Amino acid sequence: MKIKVGVVFGGESVEHEVSIISAIQAMKNINEEKYEVVPIYIAKDQTWYTGNMLKEIDIYRDLDLLKRFAKKVTLVKSENRFFLMKTNGVFRKEVTDIDVILPIVHGHGVEDGSLQGFLETLKIPYVGSNVLGSALGQDKVVMKQVMKDEGIPCVDYVWFYDTEYQLNTDEITKKIKKLGYPVVVKPATLGSSVGISVVKHEEDLDEAINDAISYDSKIIVEKAVENLVEVNASVIGNYESQEVSVLEEVMGVDEFLSYRDKYLGGGKKSGSKGMASTNRIVPARLDDKMTSEVQEMAKKVFRVLNLNGVCRIDFLIDKKSKKLYVNEPNTIPGSLSFYLWDKCDKPYCDLLDEIISLGLRRYKAESKKVRSFETNILSNYGGTKGLKGSKKI
């Protein structure tokens, strides 16, 4: 029997469309002899939909049409089975069983541990990092605190909440000045470069921070790495073992790798060329020593942050001083970084097979851990006295 994989994508984040594209690529590459794909699309209003038409990109051009023809569903557990239940119409009806969930979501409310928490609560097997790993991967402040504590090099930074900035603007501005300009202002929990600005002079700082505040209540301001070379490594594995890919060197046309560079093609100066047109050089132009330093560091980050499945770890290098910094992990990278594994003779279908197996293996291992006790300590606690007692709580 085929394993039924519920591919979950979409969600309310600013990376909604990026997630749809990543998911469609994956659904088209999954080994259909072993797996049956069930698309599960989370619309921006959080309604879940399924239907085979959701495997095709064209349907997303007209979302009203999509919502009319796709089935509205919810994920249900009953006994030891998981299934999608149709929720529109008069009758609730089972649509299909699901054996494992493959989240291909990006950003807030999904990739950040929220979806993983929902899946853990149902106790359905799923692929990729757990709640903690996913949450760490999303928060650019906490991830750096954890990494620094483990001796992983990160750039210097200052962080604060929106209301703190409004109350203590001068004090925070002074702290940022100590970092030294240029700095990079970022919403702490976004992705795809949304809300990020490079600030070279103090007079431009306030505008950049207010822009970031419009996206997030937590802000990080980092010292900008100069003479910048950006390289990324993809890692597959779990906390026991990790495999690392060849490195890619990425470059944009804008001052930093912007949303435009990532998805619209070629920065401010050119028109739209469609998705994934970031300029990439694979393998990155680094010497052997630096290449293995980056690869070893990528594996360390993966282990320290308790990541699972396939992730991409991004690095910033100052090419003059040869200093290496970890920028961030991407717990569900765009396109699942299949293009890097392709170059390592691991076709996309094998990559998907491997990460699904890793998710199922973790589920098995976790199921063997003691999570609850058989005894019910409330079995002798009851009667009127007990109920009266509970009023005091």
Ligand X SMILES: Nc1ncnc2c1ncn2[C@@H]1O[C@H](COP(=O)(O)OP(=O)(O)O)[C@@H](O)[C@H]1O
Nearest approach, Cβ of residue 70 and ligand X (Å): 30
Touching ligand X, residues 313-372 (CB under 6 A): 314, 316, 327-328
15 binds ligand X (CB under 6 A): no
Touching ligand X, residues 250-279 (CB under 6 A): 256-257
192 binds ligand X (CB under 6 A): yes
Q: Which of 3, 45, 11 is nearest to 118 (CA)?
A: 11
Nearest approach, Cβ of residue 226 and ligand X (Å): 8
Nearest approach, Cβ of residue 341 and ligand X (Å): 20
How far, CA to CA in Å, does 142 sit from each of 157, 159, 238?
Answer: 12, 10, 21
Nearest approach, Cβ of residue 181 and ligand X (Å): 12
Q: Are 46 and 12 in contact (CB under 8 A)?
A: yes
Count of residues that interact with ligand X, criterion CB under 6 A: 19
Closer of 121 and 321 to ligand X (Cβ): 321
193 binds ligand X (CB under 6 A): yes
Q: Which of 108, 202, 223, 212 is nearest to 166 (CA)?
A: 212
Closer of 155 and 352 to ligand X (Cβ): 155
Nearest approach, Cβ of residue 316 and ligand X (Å): 5
Stretch that binds ligand X, among 102-110, 190-198, 284-292, 373-381 (CB under 6 A): 190-198
228 binds ligand X (CB under 6 A): yes
Contact pattern for ligand X over residues 155 through 184, marking x by CB under 6 A: x----------------------------x
Contact set with ligand X (CB under 6 A): 155, 184, 186, 190-193, 196, 222, 224-225, 228, 230, 256-257, 314, 316, 327-328
